[in-house]
Amino acid sequence: MLVLGIESSCDETGVALYDTDKGLLAHRLHSQVAMHREYGGVVPELASRDHIQRLLPLVREVLGERSLTLQALDGIAYTQGPGLAGALLVGAGFARSLAYSLNIPAVGVHHLEGHLLSPLLADPRPEFPFVALLVSGGHTQLMHVTEVGAYETLGDTLDDAAGEAFDKTAQLLGLGYPGGPAVSKLAESGDPTRFKLPRPMLNSGDLNFSFSGLKTAVLTLRNKYPEEAARADIAAAFQRVMVEVLAEKSMQALRQVGSIRLVVAGGVGANKQLRQRLVSETASWGAKVYFPPLDLCTDNGAMIAFAGALRLQQGQAGPAPFNVKPRWDLQELPRT
């Protein structure tokens, strides 16, 4: 089965081709970072308009790379939610209209399920069951995954997600958007031990997260030490705390469910320090951590094509009303 995947939930337009026999055939991604940077964050209306402009050219590119035509497609998967309503409508409208014209099925995919399953596109790929750390701009969650569609929430963020905390810290330090790469780059030249920052909920007794207080602590430090030389040290201290909290909570989750497999997905999963810490921590406990390829950490069409293909193979693309779900609980999904 050859599936076209379309991702348009926020500020990246992703298109990919996934073959259930041959694997990932091609994928393209257009990032809107440059357009949104001057505003310090995503402008929903601009994001939606840009998706309209990019989708068709990207579809032509991935088909052309494999010398395929639209008629070769067996199904289309698109991000149905969660995300920005307007951006989701662009992708859903495009996908459903194209599928109707080709008389092939279309299936809406949960954005987080796409991230959650993206490490299955790597080699080696994890086996079920596993613990998953979903860590991105809008989400920080720990999940126990026993099969596709069977997701138990172990811990969630009570306020800011990790990616949001990176973005807000970047703003406080006068850095660009997006914040994650900017803070990490600045932190490389800083001393992470110069300043002490709180480890939010590290010893809370549960697996939840909270990063709003960490952001406030960064603001307090920045006001106290406004000189240029302090910026790198603050960035390094922030990143150290963020990595420590995410890693420790992940290890607590592994111990709680008795798992030896940890999957990390989402844009913050590309952070080099986080990856190194989790590799070391899991190895010392006799477990193993799995990451998606770096180019599949951010939003992308490949993860949507893959998750959609699994759903299509189970016949989950019957007639349904045209809608998108800007807010959508992952545990509402049916099992495959």
- The 10s digit of each residue's pLDDT in 217-227 is 999 999 999 99
Residue among 7, 278, 331 nearest 150 (CA): 331
- Give the pLDDT score at 47: 97
- Give the pLDDT score at 314: 85
Distance CA 128, CA 161 (A): 26
**Each residue's pLDDT tens digit, 190-216:** 999 999 999 999 999 999 999 989 999
On whether the CB atoms of residues 13 and 33 are closer than 8 A, the answer is: no
Q: Determine whether domain 2-116+296-332 maps to CATH 3.30.420.40.
A: yes
Is cis: bond before 126, omega within 30 of 0? Answer: no
Distance CA 269, CA 298 (A): 9
CATH of 127-291 among 3.30.420.40, 3.90.1210.10, 1.10.287.3510, 3.10.20.30: 3.30.420.40
- Give the pLDDT score at 144: 97
**Each residue's pLDDT tens digit, 301-313:** 999 999 999 999 9
Longest dimension (CA), the chain: 63
Mean pLDDT confidence for 101-118: 95
Pairing mode of beta strands 12-19, 75-81: unpaired
**Each residue's pLDDT tens digit, 37-73:** 888 889 999 999 999 999 999 999 999 999 999 999 9
Residue among 311, 322, 317 nearest 20 (CA): 311
Average model confidence (pLDDT) for the chain?
A: 94
pLDDT tier, 322 (very low <50, low <70, confident <90, very high otherwise): confident
On whether the CB atoms of residues 326 and 138 are closer than 8 A, the answer is: no
In a 13 Å sphere around the CA of 9, the CA atoms on its Cβ side amount to: 28
- Give the pLDDT score at 178: 81
pLDDT at 136 over 90: no
- What DSSP letter does each residue of 180-211 carry, written as one string? HHHHHHHHTTS-TTSS----TTTTSSSS-B--
Q: Which amino acid is at 141?
A: Q
Locate the domains of the chain by residue range.
2-116+296-332, 127-291
For the chain, list the strands marked E by DSSP: 2-7, 12-19, 23-31, 75-81, 106-110, 130-135, 140-147, 150-156, 261-265, 288-290
pLDDT at 257 over 90: yes
Q: Is 127-291 the same fold as 2-116+296-332?
A: yes
Whole-Å CA distances, 59 to 7, 84, 121? 12, 21, 20
In sequence order, which residues have a C-beta less than 8 Å from that of residue 187 and are 6 or more positions away?
232, 235, 236, 238, 239, 273
pLDDT tier, 128 (very low <50, low <70, confident <90, very high otherwise): very high
pLDDT at 336 over 70: no
On whether the CB atoms of residues 26 and 17 are closer than 8 A, the answer is: yes
% of the chain at pLDDT higher than 90: 85
Distance CA 194, CA 196 (A): 7
